[in-house]
Amino acid sequence: MKLNKKLIILTSAATLSFGVFSLPSYAKTVTDGENYTVTDGKYLDAKSYKGFKLFRNWCARCHNRYGQGLVGPDLTQILKQRTKEEVFKVIETGKTGQIGSMPTWKKNKQVMKNRDKIYAYLKARSDGAIGEVHPKKAK
């Protein structure tokens, strides 16, 4: 059987890109610049961890425990479609959708002051850096 040189190169590149030769899981860190840092799939930086706590307090009742959607939409998908500014605008002013509506949070100082932290947590979820797990704060 004659092997195609291009196929071997493409297969090798795909293998590398899917992390076959990655660091051990205990040392794996995923970061998104200013947004978040996740280590070992469950340890969040302080900013993102605070975002998780705030999300659980204010948002989870509609968007589910880890943002995967319930009455409100799946935020892990919304963040793939919307800019940070668009998300902030909806948090501030609310939105009426096909099924229901999201309330305005502009009078809630705790949410407004920390919406970047909530966004950081949700961005980590949306990017797949952290799954549907109860995260821990990195030390």
pLDDT tier at 67, thresholds 50, 70, 90: very high
Q: What is the pLDDT of residues 84-129, one digit of tens each?
A: 999 999 999 999 987 778 999 999 999 999 999 999 999 999 999 9
CATH number of domain containing 55: 1.10.760.10
Tell the burial category of 108 from Cβ atoms under 10 Å away from its Cβ (0-12, 13-18, 19+).
middle
- At residue 112, the pLDDT reads 97
Q: How many domains does the chain have?
A: 1
Q: Look up the domain containing 63 and give its range.
A: 27-32+41-137
55/65 Cα distance (integer angstroms): 9
Which pLDDT score is estimated for 15?
Answer: 37
| Pairing verdict, β 101-102 and 37-39 | unpaired
Considering the chain, what percentage of its residues have pLDDT values greater than 70? 79
CB 42 within 8 A of CB 135: yes
- Closest alpha carbon to 55 in 44, 42, 67: 67
Q: How far apart are CA 113 and CA 8, in angstroms?
A: 52
Q: Whole-prediction pTM value?
A: 0.77
Contact 44, 136 (CB under 8 A): yes
Residue-level pLDDT at 94:
95
The model's pLDDT over 6-50, given as tens digits with 9 standing for 90+, comes to 433 433 443 334 444 443 344 467 877 778 999 999 999 999 999
Give a yes or no: residue 89 inside a domain: yes
Residue-level pLDDT at 97: 80
Residue 86 lies in a domain: yes
Residue 4, in any domain of the structure? no
In a domain, 13, yes or no: no
**Residue 15, in any domain of the structure:** no
6 in any annotated domain: no
Does any domain span residue 77? Answer: yes
Amino acid at 18: F
* Side-chain-side CA neighbours of residue 45 (13 Å): 19
Nearest partner of 91 among 102, 100, 101, 81, judged by Cα: 102
In a domain, 95, yes or no: yes
Q: How far apart are CA 102 and CA 58, in angstroms?
A: 12
